[in-house]
């Protein structure tokens, strides 16, 4: 496993992180298989486990707690907090008030069955609460020994700097992929200036970069789908990833593997989150670490996926207002 230091003074963590959200979204859920997947990932050296207290209304944290029982020292647990959902799954807003932050942490510690959370981060800045107040609450938890490191998620360069002034930020979780490169002009350079590790999520852009997506394969409520996955945008974007499919075929890997490998090629400070729900998918993801690019291949991908090639926003409008700009 390729490892890197988290932030300036953090521990060594795996270059691939396990995104655990989908384990709680399955219907029906298969907890035994999900636990086996987490444990197989740990066995393979993937120690970065990514979750949130709102994934499955706490189910995801409880699942991880069961999976790491007896092997806590092998896992680095990243937890997001602050998003509120009704029992029916309806988004009800954000809560970044300091007392709420500490309350969220208390419940997360209980569900995870641990004494300390490795990385704790607001899922989004609460627009009703000064960001410094939210970050200050996490800093208090660090002083109390309940959290080890501070992370932030979906913030722009300004909020990243504001957080870092309150307490050193170790990691920035943010959407980043060949199909989504809004972070490159300002956010990524700011993170690197501050010594903040970058943790991309949605690395396959809602499945677009798998190369297997068709307009007919998308189901569900279209209002929940981002504009890049709707109508003419989707048709254009499916056609636009043809160069990725061609290069993957030439290199003997899948488009998804190639897309994640491209992310890792962007620097030695990137942890790419990959989602798995079955142990059988582990080997496919581990093979990503062996993919290398020539200068010409990187130039070809740069040209094929230049900013603006993929059309449409990455979130529906009601979510985008809470996302990093």
- Mean pLDDT along residues 214-236: 79
- Mean pLDDT along residues 145-164: 97
Q: Is residue 135 part of a domain?
A: yes
Residue ranges making up the domain that contains 85: 3-210+257-292
**Contact at 8 Å (CB) between 63 and 75?**
no
- Mean pLDDT along residues 216-221: 62
| Mean of per-residue pLDDT scores for the chain | 94
Q: Is residue 305 part of a domain?
A: no
Q: What is the pLDDT of residue 221?
A: 55
Q: What is the 3-state secondary structure (H, E, C) of 73-141?
A: HHCEEEEEECEEECCCCCEEEECCCHHHHHHHHHHHHHHHCCCCEEEEEECCCCCCCCHHHHHHHHHHH
Q: Is residue 215 part of a domain?
A: no
For residue 284, pLDDT over 70 is answered with: yes
Residues 6+ apart with CB under 8 A from 126: 82, 94, 95, 96, 97, 134
- Residue 40, classed as helix, strand or coil, is helix
* CA–CA dist 96, 81 (Å, integer): 8
pLDDT in tens, 303-312: 999 999 999 9
Q: Is residue 245 part of a domain?
A: no
Q: What is the pLDDT of residue 324?
A: 81
For residue 300, pLDDT over 70 is answered with: yes
Q: Per the structure, how many domains does the chain have?
A: 1
Q: What is the pLDDT of residue 302?
A: 95
Q: Is residue 139 part of a domain?
A: yes
Q: Is residue 66 part of a domain?
A: yes
- For residue 220, name the pLDDT band (cuts at 50, 70, 90): low
What is the CATH number for 14? 3.20.20.100
**Contact at 8 Å (CB) between 124 and 172?**
no
pLDDT in tens, 32-72: 999 999 999 999 999 999 999 999 999 999 999 999 999 99
- For residue 214, name the pLDDT band (cuts at 50, 70, 90): confident
**Contact at 8 Å (CB) between 253 and 287?**
yes
Note if 55 is an active site residue: yes
* CA–CA dist 281, 294 (Å, integer): 27
pLDDT in tens, 91-146: 889 999 999 999 999 999 999 999 999 999 999 999 999 999 999 999 999 999 99
Q: Is residue 239 part of a domain?
A: no
For residue 320, pLDDT over 60 is answered with: yes
Q: Is residue 34 part of a domain?
A: yes
**Contact at 8 Å (CB) between 94 and 54?**
no
**Selected catalytic residue, list 48, 55, 201, 315:** 55
């Amino acid at each position: 496993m390729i490892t890197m230091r988290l932030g300036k003074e953090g521990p060594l963590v795996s270059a691939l992180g396990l995104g655990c959200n989908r384990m709680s979204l399955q219907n029906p859920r298969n907890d035994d298989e999900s636990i086996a997947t987490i444990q197989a990932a740990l066995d393979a050296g993937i120690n970065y486990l990514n979750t949130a207290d709102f994934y499955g209304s706490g189910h995801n944290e409880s699942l991880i707690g069961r999976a790491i029982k007896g092997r806590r020292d092998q896992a680095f647990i990243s937890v997001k907090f602050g998003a509120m959902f009704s029992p029916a799954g309806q988004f009800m807003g954000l809560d970044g008030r300091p007392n709420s932050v500490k309350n969220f942490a208390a419940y997360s510690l209980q569900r995870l069955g641990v004494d300390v959370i490795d990385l704790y981060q607001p899922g989004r800045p609460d627009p009703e609460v000064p960001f410094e107040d939210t970050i200050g609450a996490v800093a208090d938890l660090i002083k109390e020994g309940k959290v080890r490191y501070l992370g932030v998620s979906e913030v722009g360069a300004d909020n990243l700097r504001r957080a870092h002034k309150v307490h050193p930020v170790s990691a920035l979780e943010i959407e980043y992929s060949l199909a989504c490169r809004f972070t490159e002009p300002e956010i990524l350079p700011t993170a690197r200036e501050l010594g903040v590790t970058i943790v991309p999520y949605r690395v396959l852009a809602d499945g677009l970069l798998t190369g297997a997506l068709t307009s007919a394969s998308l189901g569900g409520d279209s209002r929940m789908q981002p504009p890049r996955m709707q109508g003419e945008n989707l048709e254009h974007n499916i056609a636009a990833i043809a160069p990725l499919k061609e290069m993957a075929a030439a290199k003997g890997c899948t488009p998804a593997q190639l897309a994640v490998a491209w992310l890792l090629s962007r620097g030695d400070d990137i942890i790419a989150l990959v989602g798995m729900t079955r142990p059988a998918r582990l080997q496919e993801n581990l093979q990503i670490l062996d993919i290398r690019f020539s200068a010409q291949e990187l130039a070809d991908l740069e040209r094929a996926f230049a900013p603006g090639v993929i059309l449409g926003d990455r979130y529906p409008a009601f979510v985008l207002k809470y996302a990093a700009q």
